[in-house]
Amino acid sequence: MQYRHLGASGLQVSALSFGAWVTFAQQYGEDLAYDCMKAAYDAGVNFFDNAEVYAHGQAEVVMGNVIRRAGWKRSDLVISTKIFWGGDGPNDTGLSRKHVIEGANAALARLQLDYVDLIFCHRPDIYTPIEETVRAMSYLVDSGKAFYWGTSEWSAADIMEAYQIARRQHLTPPAMEQPQYHMLHRERVEKEYARLYREIGLGTTIWSPLASGILTGKYNDGMPEGTRVSLKDYEWLRKNFESDQGKANIEKARQLAPVAEELGCTQSQLALAWCLKNPNVSTVITGASRPEQVVENMAALDVVDKLTPDVLARIEGILDNKPTPLSDFR
């Protein structure tokens, strides 16, 4: 396993990490979660990602039980959660000081942990002043309930505002962002955040590197049963896949298949390796429905060096979506 610094921080996270979204307490229970997390841990993964909203909190319960059952040394793990959607009450959603602190306490109880290493604002909250959220997150760090805090799917402008507020008020600034990033979704990570990597040392823990499965190639010939498009509450995903843009993305996945074959890897490994090639990616969050899939994903590390300039140029020709660079008027 390779380890990368989380942006400009001193924390090192495994280049490939493992997350609980979709699978934990939805596709499978604690025994299979244990097998998958152990396969990841045995491969050198130290970062495990979660959120209060995943399976309505049950994903955190499952992960907490697995950690306790495995008996892993706490200092060997980097555990995260994300706060925004915590329930149905008027103060159970958003990034108010009340929900940030109460949501974090509830997440720690479900995880059976004294602290998380990383805590994220799962989305921006248009109804809560950014300063209120920054103060609440800084309080969690100061109280030892989290070591670093960050954002997920925030604009570059909002991240910079949060950072500047923290610096002016002598609070803890955001250290990382968790954005969607994959071959078919590139603008924010490659262009919008470009100055943040340089100016504030932003780290990234990217999610959905396989584009909800499109880049695995499993949908190249249709919509197989047993995949997430057939899950309850994921009807939106099927609609996305069946849209004109979705069909175009699946066609790109079909065209990537020969590239993977020539490199001697799966399409999933190719997509993960492509994300890892970006030096501004601190870690790529993977998921899996069985331990064998975890092992397959980890082998993407062996593909990174195979992505030569010629191979990357061929991939760019298929994707045809490289963000235009920032204007240089010098």
Cα gap 284→1, rounded to integer Å: 12
For Cα atoms 308, 40, 25, give the angle at the middle one, nearest 5 degrees.
120
Between CA 133 and CA 94 the distance in angstroms is: 10
Query: What is the Cα–Cα distance from 225 to 240, expressed in whole angstroms?
Result: 16
Lookup: tokens for 164: 């500047």
* Pairing outcome for strands 12-14 and 176-177: unpaired
Strand residue runs (E) in the chain? 3-5, 12-14, 16-19, 47-49, 78-83, 116-121, 146-151, 176-177, 203-206, 283-286
The β-bridge relationship of strands 12-14 and 3-5 is antiparallel
- Catalytic one among 34, 41, 54, 219? 54
Asked about 219 being catalytic, the answer comes back as: no
| Distance from C-alpha of 112 to C-alpha of 126, rounded to nearest angstrom | 31
> Which of the residues are catalytic?
54
